[in-house]
Chains A and B, each alone.
Chain A
Amino acid sequence: DIQMTQSPSTLSASVGDRVTITCRASQSISSWLAWYQQKPGKAPKLLIYKASSLESGVPSRFSGSGSGTEFTLTISSLQPDDFATYYCQQYGGPFGQGTKVEIK
């Protein structure tokens, strides 16, 4: 079974910082990867699909890259609304364990 591993588990950052989250798959998943944002008590929200395609309505400060086994989610300039937990997911498969982005 494929496993997804995110790093770091927690990230402390300030408004305006550039933030990068990494997701690694235990075997190649091509570009079959999505990124989700979740805020407390809410359902997750799709940010990125097919590793690098920005979902409609998602701010352009979010970007995704990678293929095969290593992927990254980058927030170019962290905004107050971005403090949340982020998950990667292999399409039709497991999620990573999540990365909580906290206020520094």
Chain B
Amino acid sequence: QVQLQESGPGLVKPSQTLSLTCTVSGGSISSGDYYWSWIRQPPGKGLEWIGYIYYSGSTYYNPSLKSRVTISVDTSKNQFSLKLSSVTAADTAVYYCARDRVGGYGMDVWGQGTTVTVSS
């Protein structure tokens, strides 16, 4: 049973870089059958797709966040990571990582989510 777990600081100062890691257990991140995604949800609001990475390192980002987002993968640690630069209060959200099945089969495994607050 594949499980995903987000980790990282819960508090980030404005203008700094938010950094989160998602650890994959029970399966290999190097499987060619999946993209590895980040999604966020501001308090009381809807879901926003941030982007995904393939095990090879290929990435695809939400155009509205593309200038500030970097997603990377470390296959040796079975982890993938999110960096979001120049954060503001608007980046305060629950951040989820998820496994996205290649070919349009949807995000079938999600982490529990981690809350990140941007505040001085």
Chain A interface (Cβ within 8 Å of chain B)? 1, 31-32, 34, 36, 38, 43-46, 48-50, 53, 55, 87, 89, 91-98
User: In the complex the two chains form, is B107's CB within 8 Å of A46's CB?
Assistant: yes
Q: What are 28 residue pairs bridging A and B, where the CB atoms are less than 8 Å apart in the complex?
A: A36-B107, A38-B47, A43-B96, A43-B110, A43-B113, A44-B96, A46-B106, A46-B107, A46-B108, A49-B105, A50-B106, A53-B105, A55-B106, A55-B108, A87-B46, A87-B47, A89-B47, A89-B49, A91-B104, A91-B106, A93-B49, A94-B62, A95-B47, A95-B48, A95-B49, A96-B46, A98-B46, A98-B47
| With A32-B104, A36-B107, A49-B105 already in contact, 5 other A-B pairs whose C-beta atoms are closer than 8 Å | A43-B110, A45-B110, A46-B107, A89-B47, A95-B48
In angstroms, Cα B47 to Cα A94, docked, is 8
Residues of B within 8 A of A97 (CB): 46
B50 to chain A, nearest CB (A): 11
Q: Is the interface on chain B under 10, 10 to 19, 20 to 34, or 35 or more residues?
A: 20 to 34
Given A43-B96, A43-B110, A43-B111, check contact A95 B46 (CB 8 Å).
yes
Residues of A within 8 A of B101 (CB): 49
User: In the complex the two chains form, is A1's CB within 8 Å of B64's CB?
Assistant: yes
Whether, in the assembled complex, B38 has its beta carbon less than 8 Å from a beta carbon of chain A, the answer is no
